[in-house]
Amino acid sequence: MTSSHYLAGLFAPRSIAVIGASEKPGSIGHVILKNLLANGYKGRLVAVNPRYPTVLDQPCVVSIEAAGGAVDLAIITTAPRTIAEIIAQCGRAGVRNAIVVSHPASVAANSATTERRIRDAALNAGVRFLGPKSLGIVCPHAALNATFTEISALPGDLALVAQSGAMCASVLDWATMNRIGLSLAVSLGEAMNVDFGEVLDYLANDERTRYILLHVEKIRHARRFISALRSAARIKPVILLKSGNHVGDEMADPDAAELADQVFDAAVRRAGVVRVRDLGQLFHAARALASGFHPRGSRLAILSNGTGPARMAADSARRLGIPLPALAPATVTTLKPLLPREWKGHNPIDLGGDASSERYLEATRQLAQDAQIDAILVVLSPLALVSPQAVAEGLVDIARNSRTTLCCCFMGGAQVAGARQILEEAGIPVFRTPDTVIELFHNISTYYQNQKLLLQVPSPGRPMAGGRSGSGRVLVDALIAERRRVLSRMEAHALLHTYGVPVRPSMVAHTATEAMFVAEQIGLPVDVHLESPDLADAFDEQAVRRKLTSIESVRTALHDLVEARRQGAPEQRIHGVTIAPHGEHPHGRLFMVKVLRDPVFGPVILLGAGGSQGEALRDHAVALPPLNRYLARKLIDATRIGHTLGEHGKYPAADSQALEDALLGISNMVCELPALDTLEINPLVVDASGCLAVDARLSIDPSRGAGQGRYAHMAIHPYPAHLRQEWPMRDGSVIRVRPVRPEDAPLEQAFVNAMSDESRYFRFMDSTRELPPSQIVRLTQVDYDREMALIAVIDEGGAERQIGSARYVQTPDGEAVEFGLAVDDGWQKCGLGRRLMEAIIDCAREKLYRSMVGDVLADNHKMLSLMSRLGFAVMPHPDGNELKRVVKPLRE
């Protein structure tokens, strides 16, 4: 329930103090207090300003400490230099929430020193605040408009969170004009204290919010942002608009800025969010989701009564990668009588300028029955033989009786206005131009595709064939001990081999004589690469000699490479040469794989076209690890070169699974080696015989991950497979304990349904027999970082049955966790509850939490007894005698 959320006092305050309230028209304190009064806020209002006895006919006190009575929220409108002291006063007055609003003209005064003082004051006072530079909040259901804008909002189920005050005001104005209601609008401003993660947590649990709009400029805490975004998107649609660079600084290098944007895109895709590119798309997507627009897939058929509009729509669809599938033969047969004789059965479908309303509707009905079509775009121009209103009414009827999604483009003005209104009232998206409706369809269908990505919970997994990931950690530790950063080719290949990535064998030679012997041992022909940690370009063709067919040429090559480097770059260190067998791959597809470090999101895997011309082709896609096979396949399909793996011409089909395996091995490497800084494999050759890393360079940074928890270097926490356990019981049965997965929802629901009324009441503190789907989602889709859930299962009749669960979720201060425990009635008194609690306590200790807390009903004597035996202190609960608070320290 939102009422128990720790930010309820910030977003649903029962009393508000406006600090800096003023009689001066146009001042922040005047506008905000005036808005609160004008909107009819029903809670207690306190004006604070030592200069006035009253403000807007409200009694005015000299300071927040003189307010008398409890105040949930303080809105601070004073100059930046006063904010730290006022926050300290709020703490002394027992005010725990604040909004810091700064006028744009005063932003320059917000120096780093001022910001540090504000942060320290809030931390010492125990005050959570929005801003600085926040526009404020709007909560229409509470008649609350605490913003520096005169725009009111209607109550509804759409929530808005924006960093920019101007963007927040724009969306508020648009929503009011279009009669779209809001549950809450929050302007984060600089997000110095309360940020996206915490607001998203609040909205995910807010019963009035069904949809969430986000405007993002920069991100401070990637793991917290992605974790909260994923958590919210599992329950409610989230639409995101980003402006600027998520790192927070403008990038002079356009290629770097483009890559940073691609990384952000990859992150939000994994979070199950739809990202839009401009304010117009944000508005359209919000309206479409609010009306229940839900394409079941991305395959689109375009139906029009004109060639030009149909081609415009088709061009936009192809540009955005929307598939326009071939129609089923049966559909072509039924459509032919309705279309011009020259129609060849293609999609888009042009009915011709003489199309009547009846032909429009009959063609739509036939397309709606085609299993290869997920959605239909109906494009209508107001020509003489068609009635826009009749078509609109017929489309509404078709939409009610079909699983196929409809969207419309009714081009024109007055002649189609009535038809547009009919469609809008029925919840069918309708626009004036094909481009706009195609963009909307792309955004919303992408959202539902991204929801599938959200359900992927890859684990680091077992080593790939021939791999030994434990050896990889030992090898890197040895390099760190030697204070090494750049690995030789031989070392890079060995490390890749450790994680199951097929590599070309290689050896290092330091003298011409060694080089000849190595070449003879490996077998001619060979390639010879100069080894130097100082090379600006690790793949510099000037530092390699290829396809050497004699040992004399090997000796000459070493001499030439070394002399050329000493002449051209005498300061560079030379560590000999790496010699590897030369291989021909006439049917190979050349890929490139990189591991890069994004300043915010951490490790990123980039896949694209490789070889000497790979960079020039600008064909690549990025993904955030961890990957599983589904995500690896998606990454391959996102590149143009990935579509060449099938058989074509003289080229036999390449082994795409071998490429997937290599990507999974690299993903495992990234997960398990926090010190891995950069990796480049170029080329990675894929042909019918498999996959081979021909050349690779790798560097490490010992400072990365030092002293941090497992997987702390990653934006998305992998599935913690290392927590799986098997517990033999006294009766010979075996209980398997593992972290929960999204696909465990049926197990969890059956487990809850099988509980006795008493057990269910003790666990959930209510008498509901069946949990709603949203709560099952919360129980089974966890992020393994801020929360953990272990379930105990047994085999019964060839299927798994859940018999227990233990979980924790991080408390708002980030220092402790709150636990929950449930055991099947038939498995109580077997020691299962104790063992589950010990396992979940170990998980919390591994994450370095300070303590574990829980609320237990006072008459749940069995649970209180177990807690005492486990070392929890049983204490009175601040909310009354019906509950007990149990606390266990986790640090010595």
Most confident range, picked from 39-53, 452-466, 560-574:
39-53
Q: How far apart are CA 486 and CA 311, in angstroms?
A: 53
The yes-or-no verdict on residue 803 having pLDDT over 70 is: yes
Q: Which amino acid is at 347?
A: N
Give the confidence band of 707 by pLDDT, cuts at 50, 70, 90: low
Percent of the chain with pLDDT over 70: 96
CA 702 → CA 486, 706, 852, distances in Å?
11, 7, 32
Q: What are the pLDDT digits (tens) for 538-588? A: 677 888 999 999 999 999 999 999 998 888 888 888 888 999 999 889 999
Q: Say how far apart CA 515 and CA 495 lie, in whole Å.
A: 23
pLDDT at 245: 61
Positive or negative: CA dihedral 162, 165, 170, 176:
positive
- For residue 214, report the phi and psi dihedrals to the nearest 5 degrees: -120, 140
Contacts 24+ apart (CB under 8 A), 109-113: 109/79, 109/80, 109/81, 110/80
pLDDT at 218: 86
Order of strands, sheet of 526-530, starting from the edge strand that comes earlier in the sequence: 507-509, 577-581, 526-530, 544-548
pLDDT at 522: 92
pLDDT in tens, 118-131: 999 999 999 999 99
What average pLDDT does the segment 658-666 reach? 97
**Residue 469's pLDDT is what?**
59
C-alpha dihedral (708, 709, 715, 720), degrees to nearest 10: 160
pTM of the entire predicted model: 0.85
What does the pLDDT average to over 236-263?
77
Q: Mind giving me the DSSP string for 129-140?
A: EE-SS--EEEEG
pLDDT at 744 over 60: yes
- Return the pLDDT at 279: 81
What is the pLDDT confidence band of residue 850, given thresholds at 50, 70 and 90? very high
- Average pLDDT on 722-734 reads 88
Of 695, 654, 673, 629, whose CA–CA distance to 464 is shortest? 629
pLDDT at 252 over 70: no
**Average pLDDT of 12-22?**
96
What per-residue confidence (pLDDT) applies to 104?
Answer: 45
Segment 145-151 mean pLDDT = 90
- Residue 108 pLDDT > 50: no
Distance spanning both ends of the chain, measured CA to CA: 34
Tell me the pLDDT tens digit for each residue of 501-524: 999 999 999 999 999 999 999 999
The reported pLDDT for the residue numbered 596 is 95
- Nearest CA to 156 out of 291, 42, 36, 31 is that of 291
Residue 538 is predicted with a pLDDT of: 66
pLDDT at 361 exceeding the cut of 90:
yes
In this prediction, residue 201 carries a pLDDT of 87
361, 304 Cβ separation under 8 angstroms = no
**Angle (nearest 5°) at CA 430 between 424 and 435:** 160
Q: How far is CA 508 from CA 129, 501, 528, 539, in A?
A: 59, 20, 10, 17
Tell me, rounded to whole angstroms, the distance of Cα 498 from its chain centroid. Answer: 30
Flag whether pLDDT at 756 surpasses 50. Answer: yes
How much is the pLDDT for 412?
92
- Higher pLDDT: 767 or 241? It is 241
Cis amide bond preceding 746, omega within 30? no
pLDDT value for 121: 95
pLDDT score for 463 = 54
Closest CA relative to residue 286, chosen from 154, 399, 174, 435: 174
Please report the sign of the dihedral spanned by the C-alpha atoms of residue 477, residue 478, residue 483, residue 489. negative
pLDDT greater at residue 260 or residue 112: 260
pLDDT in tens, 809-848: 998 778 899 999 999 999 998 899 999 999 999 999 998 8
pLDDT recorded at residue 2: 35
pLDDT digits (tens, 9 = 90+) for 64-96: 999 988 999 999 999 888 999 999 999 999 999
pLDDT at 467: 56
Supply the pLDDT for residue 3.
39
pLDDT more than 90, % of the chain: 68
* Burial grade of 60 (CB within 10 A; 0-12, 13-18, 19 or more): buried
Report pLDDT for 843.
95
Are 360 and 394 contacting, i.e. CB atoms less than 8 angstroms apart? Answer: yes
CB 474 within 8 A of CB 638: no
Instruction: Give the pLDDT confidence of 306-351 residue by residue, as tens digits.
Output: 999 999 999 999 999 999 999 999 999 999 999 998 899 999 999 9
The per-residue pLDDT for 636 is 97
Alpha carbons within 13 A on the beta-carbon side of 876: 4
Q: What is the mean pLDDT of the chain?
A: 90
